[in-house]
A and B are shown apart, each in its own frame.
Chain A
Amino acid sequence: MLSVLQKTTRPVQAARGLHKSALDVLKQPAPEDTVTASFGKFISEIKPQYLSPVALYRSKRMVLDSVGVGLIGSTTDVFELALQHCQHMHAPDPISSVYGRRGIRLSPTLAAFVNGVATHSMDFDDTWHPATHPSGAVLPAVLALSDMMPANSKPSGLDFLLAFNVGIEIQGRLMRFSNEAHNIPKRFHPPTVVGPMGSAAACARLLSLDPSQCSHALAIAASLAGAPMANAATQCKPLHIGNASRLGLEAALLASRGLEASPLVLDAVAGVAGFNAFYEDYVPQPLKSPSDNDNGHVFLLEEQDMGFKRFPAHLGMHWVADAAASVHKVLVGVDPGKVSPDQVQDILLRVPLSKYINRPFPESEHEARHSFQFNACSALLDGEVAVQSFSPAAMSRPELHALLSRVRLEHPQDNPANFNRMYGEVQVTLVGGDILKGRCDTFYGHWRNPLTNESLRKKFRNNAGVVLPSEKVERLIEAVEELDRLDDCGALLSQLE
């Protein structure tokens, strides 16, 4: 590996006073041996036969969920704004379709942008471990690109799924280069770091770029990556996914036109940061191409399943919501009817330490989706958190505010800011002195306790049904279910409008 090579050449230089420029030639790895080249090769050479039944099953669930949250997301203000922006700045272009808007079509990268914004607009989209929202960065780009391809040569459903899985796989591989990536982020919003890379990879795959072009697509995308956490919990956050999708597609298109970038972008070169600019610790690993590997390829998705959200809020909220819901159940069991703030003296939440999801009095829906306090109190009041919990009416309820003012947070040492290991505890002290406790280690929807297909479809129907008539909703479910058997992914595309 590169770092080892560098270590052995330095003492040699000191000992023998070797001409430095000769050593520099030694130090450069052969182009084929770089991590960057291995990724390019993988993307170019992977084939549909390497998609196992598990990978197919799980990724189709992701496609369905992602389309559903994108469709309901097309009713949000931020989506409207993004769409308006694209329509002002650009003329209509009869190429790529837009979620939930019949008759509106945009240039592919712009469609990827607005559909990505829709997908993340309510923080309802899937979450993986290490943490990112993988599908929203990839699916809109793959859809837009498929729309761009001529009607008589659309990718098959299997090619479509392969491209999608490549986009997910690359994101997973990149996140494993860093320990920092395993915890709830503090600096860069992960979808902005790995999202464009995944989108670029997926689009490069769909465009059938050669290994070198695939590498360059990744390198070009790296220069478009990275947005800070400070914009999470603002109206700007959904654009992080929108841009990831759009810019990855752009990178692939530029690479297809011959644009070149750093051949070492994923490798760790001292003194010149590449992709490692976004991480404090970074140890890259090459990716084996299936052609070099007799055992084929095991996609990360097969080893690490996806988390799907049951309500539109940051993943961390799901633990406290489930814990609070169990307390709610006891409360209404004891005293049937509504839960009243008058019963409650104190609410203690034991949660991981993470500043951007600790908001005692959220002022916008975006902040509310990133507030342990808000989600716990909503679940305590209503028995669950749902789409409607973030409406202006629900957010301004006096009972909710009363409860919010009684919340304290504790950050136990054994509760790490890590989606694989955290828990949520809600402890309610009643006015009479009784203490009720609820704890959630694994919420329903987490990868350890995945949504059943029935639950997933119910979520999809609730979401898609807001925007599409029910026959279309059912046809979409069928199209996704059969996706790997479709000769032409156009059958899926046409159902989206």
Chain B
Amino acid sequence: MLRKGITESFGAAIHALNATHLTDGVIHRSKRMMLDTLGVGLLGSRTAVFNKALMYSQMFVSEQRSSVWGRSEITLPPHYAAFVNGIAVHSMDFDDTWHPATHPSGAVLPALLALAETLASRPSGLDLLLAFNVGLEVQGRLMRFSREAYNIPERFHPPSVVGVMGSAAASAKLLGLSPAQCSHALAIAVSSAGAPLANAATQTKPLHIGNAARRGLEAAQLAQIGLEGNPAILDVANGLGVYYGDYNPSPMADSGAFRWILEDQNVAVKRIPAHLAMHWVVDAALAARAKLRDTVGTFDLSQIRQVTLRVPPSKYINCPLPASEHQARHSFQFNACSALLDGQVTVASFDRAQINRPALRELLSKVEVETPEDNPPSFDKMYCEVEIGSAEGRSAAARCDTFYGHWRKPLSQRDLVEKFSVNASSVLCPEGVEGLIDVVGNMEKVSECSVLGSFLRMTSNREQLYRTRIM
């Protein structure tokens, strides 16, 4: 059904939104997201998938070059910088998650930073903040066009649907495109959307975010030189609507009574590099473990007879025997057992050696998964319960409704910065780490946002040595 003017309204809004629309609340939240994204991206620059993408991307030549996060000596054409940095951000599934579900920042920030480094206009920190928030807002608005979007996905991986739209919108904003060009950027981006969920839990999943960033940027640049797509791409049923079972678009107000979605709906920041749902099951497992230990005096693995997990129904995160780190990050069973075994789940929990531990495999064989009717596949409403049954017939159960880091219980500023520091320090020298905290913290006053690039390249000496070693 044709509702006139929705695409037009998005184009107009992207064009018209300016820095005066940014509120303190939105600035605060989006700066936290930026910092977290940079940190997980830096950590991710040491992953195998990032390396493969980097090698591939070095095939391309260009005059303009943009920074590769965590690399002091390599630059790439801007599209490919956006590509690899986006991959880095999502490489360990450590990046932010929103409701309705997507990973909003990874699709936008890498594109903006890559673009900013090439613009003669030298965008300021405030320009970056504005464009970033435009990119988030468009994603949030588009997801609200469909009820299907509110649940854990089954068909298309959400970042591949709305992420590229956010990147196109943000890039169009930073480029200062006209309202019509902004609309066309969105239209062109839709033809780059939509990757199936089957590639989640594989090494290719991070490319969904990398490609969202890259192809959204490309869409904006094509619109800038005059390419046109369908001017009603958001309005018609066979436009963006093809990615959804139900689709009900509505227009976007440009200034008048405008309120950022981020103001009312915060993101979740992850404590564990794994699918968001794992956070519930880990917190529940840790609580059950503590209960059992408190009852019995010690926690003895050999006493465990059965572990029952009560989780929402979702096939792609139900993996009884993960064979790779990617599968492990998408496995209720694995994350529960790691928590029970180690008393914590960290970055190191997903190393190959850890995944293959006999003790872990043995514990995994004792796990049963139930999907109670009252546990919906929604990040806003789900819970996880872990029940440990011991050999003597004792049992301890715990339930987690809201994990620490969820939007209902956000990470403290201290813990957010701590996560960033730990991540960034794995790659950057202290000056780089501190520099980024400082720049992001004062982003609205920074005169040239491309200064971020120079900090992102400040690898530690240890790293520089590592890089030159033959592997």
Contacts and interface: CB of A to CB of B under 8 A. Distances in A.
B367 interface: yes
B196 A234 contact: no
Contact of B225 (A85, A108, A219, A220): A85
B53 interface: yes
Interface residues of A, number: 63
Contacts of B190: 227-228, 230-231
Contacts of A272: 154, 197-198, 200, 315-316
A490 to B, nearest CB: 21
Interface in A20-59: 20-21, 24-25
Contacts, number: 208
Nearest to B204: A261
B61 A91 contact: yes
Contacts of A229: 238, 242
Contacts of A436: none
Given A223-B211, A274-B199, 6 more contacts: A21-B320, A85-B225, A187-B238, A228-B238, A230-B190, A231-B187
Contact of A243 (B63, B191, B198, B204): B191
Contacts of B192: 227, 243
Contact of B78 (A89, A220, A356): A89
Given A21-B368, A223-B211, A228-B242, A234 B187 contact: yes
Contacts of A226: 193-195, 242
15 contacts: A19-B368, A21-B321, A21-B364, A93-B60, A223-B195, A226-B193, A226-B242, A227-B190, A236-B187, A254-B52, A254-B207, A259-B203, A271-B315, A274-B198, A356-B238
Contact of A21 (B52, B207, B315, B365): B365
B123 interface: no
A160 interface: no
A90 interface: yes
B365 to A, nearest CB: 7
Contacts of A265: 196, 198-199
Interface of B: 49, 52-53, 55-56, 59-64, 77-79, 154-157, 160, 187-188, 190-204, 207-208, 211, 218, 221-222, 225-230, 232-233, 236, 238-243, 313-316, 320-321, 333, 364-365, 367-369
Contacts of A392: none
Nearest to B230: A230
A230 B191 CA distance: 9
- Of A219, A259, A264, which is in contact with the most chain B CB atoms at under 10 Å from its CB? A259
Contacts of B225: 81, 84-85, 88
- Of A91, A228, A271, which is in contact with the most chain B CB atoms at under 10 Å from its CB? A228
Interface string A212-228: 00000001101111111
Interface in A168-189: 186-188
Contacts of A228: 190-191, 233, 238-243
B183 to A, nearest CB: 12
B53 A254 contact: yes
A202 B192 CA distance: 21
Contacts of A235: 227-229
Given A222-B199, A254-B56, A260-B202, A239 B191 contact: yes
B204 A219 contact: yes
Nearest to A36: B198
A269 interface: yes
A43 B237 CA distance: 36
